Chain A
Amino acid sequence: MKKRITKFIHVFTGSLRSRLITFLTLFLLLLSTGYYIYTLSVQGSYFRSSYRQNTSDVMQAIKFGMELSLEREDYAALQKMFTWAKSEYYVKFIVLLSDDSTVAAQFPEDFRMSKNILSQPPSLTAENYILKHEYSSPISKGIYLVGFSTKSLRQYEQKVLVDVGISTLIFIFLSVLFGSLLSKSITKPLEELRIVTEKISQGAIDERVVLKKGTDEILSVSASFNTMVDRVLLAQNDLENDLLEAAEFVKAILPIPVHKPLPIDWRFIPSKRLGGDSFGYDLIDNETLAFYLLDVSGHGLGAALLSVAVLNVLRSKSLKDADFKNPSSVLFALNNAFQMEQYGDKYFTIWYGALNINSLELNFSSAGHPPVLLARKNGNATDILRIGNKNFFVGGMPEFEFDTDFFQLKENDSLLLFSDGVYELERKDGSTMNLDEFEKFLGECYSESFTLDGLINELKKIKISDTFEDDFSIMEITVKKQN
């Protein structure tokens, strides 16, 4: 029941139009009620006063007619006067009293006067409004009473009640009609504006409000809205161009895929918002290959700039006190160089490996980064192994000691180094893939003919949309012993 009432009230308080109509209706209802009461009271008092005036006039006419005709002893005139008085529709009775208060004459003849009539003041609410006056003439003198029916008064009051009520109802009806039309004219352009904004917010950025001729405020708001959307789109366009340029720049400083000393391939798909992924690989000396992939927190130019800065430091080997063959030493130096307080509260995760290409011994350290997945042939099947350890991310804790772990690679192993943007995808059922699921997925689709493009295509099949929300970076190193 309470819900129903709330729903009912909501109809009148929900949309702007309903509120306008409700407000107008309430206002007019109040106005009409006021007008109704006012009219009733004014009309009522006007009619009562004119009733009093009329009856008093009749009394005066009777007194005058009686005294004059009795003085002249003109009974024909007297009778005419009485005939007139009796013909007044609201005269109910006329009584003439002698000096000794006995009834001398009366109309109608069968009228029986109650004794307390004389002592009662005239009342408009009684059935009869009774007035009394003295008269005097040579023939006789005394008191005459006239009873006036108040029926007409009550009938008139009822008539006014109904008439004014009907006209008030018509007034309310017309007002509500007018108000609803008025509010429609106000809310219609607003409604159009609402529909267009809703469409734009759902992605239909080419929608615009159709402007009609006129000068009202909503039109000018609509025009401004159109201009604003144009401007915002322009600004967004500029921003997107900037991001695209930045993405191109990030791509430009990434190393090119190589076949020596080991075949290394990669795919980098920057997200629309530009993430903070970057990666690289270098020969530190004749037998040591360093490779790494990092992911700066957040998105946009800030993340990309930090990512590029870290990449440059690693590429140029300009990191103080770092032994690039020793992952923990590199991460330790990076951690001290890129503390998040100094870089806009941005930190990053990184996976850094140093591989002896002759002995295939891999030293690695992972700072908050997903592990490298290793595909290793096991007879006809392929095992997927994780290569990773647990360290704090870079930039969060000064002087953090990173651990380095060791892994012995074998000929034909395939290493996949990637950022979380590769597997944290929204699938068609709305769920997001996790690392375990990605590992399983990779095991299912890995084969002799595995390529990165093939993986990307398979991932796109299960994704809800064609684009990647985060930067998509993946590096594949195939282990082949050098001859």
Chain B
Amino acid sequence: MNRKLKYYSLLSAAISLLLFSPALVMSQTIIINKTNPIEKISKSQLRNIFLGNNIAWENGRRIQIVDFVSESPIRKQFDENTLLLPPQKVGMIWVKVSLSGKSIPPKIVHDEEDVKNFIGSNEGAIGYVKNTANLPQSVKIIQVIDE
């Protein structure tokens, strides 16, 4: 299963690189800290989390988003496909979140390694990556279900 996924994603990355068409590259893989009991997540839950409406996991732990800078293609793709908003709008929502102070504002990083490392060391963290190779031990993938 893992191997298949890995192969698939590598292939898709190659194709996208070849064709310069990110639209063709399919969805990102959502990863969380291994201590988090969650195994799957719906798209709407994902949207709620990333737009600051849902601030805690079911076990009460505070949700800590880690995301890419707004210029990065993977962010653009995630925002448009999953959150259904352009990255600027998402940024504005996070400004709103920062001002309200209710939830932990997202951690913005530049590359996937940073995402993986951050999630590995923060129990409530959630993020997404394209490349699932070399995932640290403390990170696990959760399945996104259409609901």
Contacts and interface: CB of A to CB of B under 8 A. Distances in A.
A96 interface: yes
A96 B99 contact: yes
Interface in B82-139: 88, 91-92, 94-101, 104-108
A139 B70 contact: yes
B105 A76 contact: yes
Contacts of B69: 73
Nearest to A82: B99
A46 to B, nearest CB: 33
Contacts of B91: 70, 73, 139-140
A354 interface: no
A139 B98 contact: no
Interface in A78-112: 78-79, 82-83, 86, 94, 96, 98, 104-107, 109
A109 B100 contact: yes
Tier of interface size on chain B: 10 to 19
Nearest to B106: A75
Contacts of A70: 91, 95
A78 B98 contact: yes
Nearest to A85: B99
B96 A105 contact: yes
Nearest to B100: A109
B105 A75 contact: yes
A75 B98 contact: yes
A73 B70 contact: yes
B133 to A, nearest CB: 26
A94 B70 CA distance: 25
Contacts of A66: 95
B92 A140 contact: yes
Contacts of A82: 98-99, 101
A134 to B, nearest CB: 15
Contact of B95 (A72, A96, A109): A96
Given A73-B69, A138-B70, A139-B70, A79 B101 contact: yes
Given A73-B69, A140-B88, A78 B101 contact: no
Interface SS of chain A: mixed
A74 interface: yes
B87 to A, nearest CB: 8
B101 to A, nearest CB: 6
A104 B100 CA distance: 12
B108 A105 contact: no
Nearest to B95: A105
Given A73-B70, A139-B70, A140-B92, A106 B105 contact: no
Contact of A105 (B99, B104, B106, B107): B99
B100 A107 contact: yes
A432 B101 CA distance: 111
Contacts of A72: 108
Contacts of B97: 75, 79
Contact of B92 (A83, A105, A106): A105
Contacts of B100: 105, 107, 109
Interface in A210-260: none
A106 B95 contact: no
B101 A86 contact: yes
A139 B92 CA distance: 7
Contacts of A139: 70, 88, 91-92, 95
Nearest to A140: B92
A109 B106 CA distance: 20
Interface in A132-190: 138-140
Nearest to A80: B98
A79 B69 CA distance: 17
A102 to B, nearest CB: 11
Nearest to B75: A73
Given A73-B70, A74-B108, A76-B107, A83 B101 contact: yes
Interface of B: 69-70, 88, 91-92, 94-101, 104-108
Interface of A: 66, 70, 72-76, 78-79, 82-83, 86, 94, 96, 98, 104-107, 109, 138-140
Given A73-B108, A75-B106, A139-B88, 9 more contacts: A70-B95, A73-B91, A75-B105, A75-B108, A78-B105, A96-B95, A105-B92, A107-B100, A140-B88
The 6 closest A-B pairs by CB, nearest first: A75-B105, A105-B96, A139-B91, A79-B98, A73-B108, A78-B98
27 contacts: A66-B95, A70-B91, A73-B69, A73-B70, A73-B108, A74-B108, A75-B94, A75-B95, A75-B97, A75-B98, A75-B107, A76-B104, A76-B107, A79-B99, A79-B105, A82-B98, A82-B99, A82-B101, A86-B101, A96-B99, A98-B92, A104-B92, A105-B100, A138-B70, A139-B70, A139-B88, A139-B95
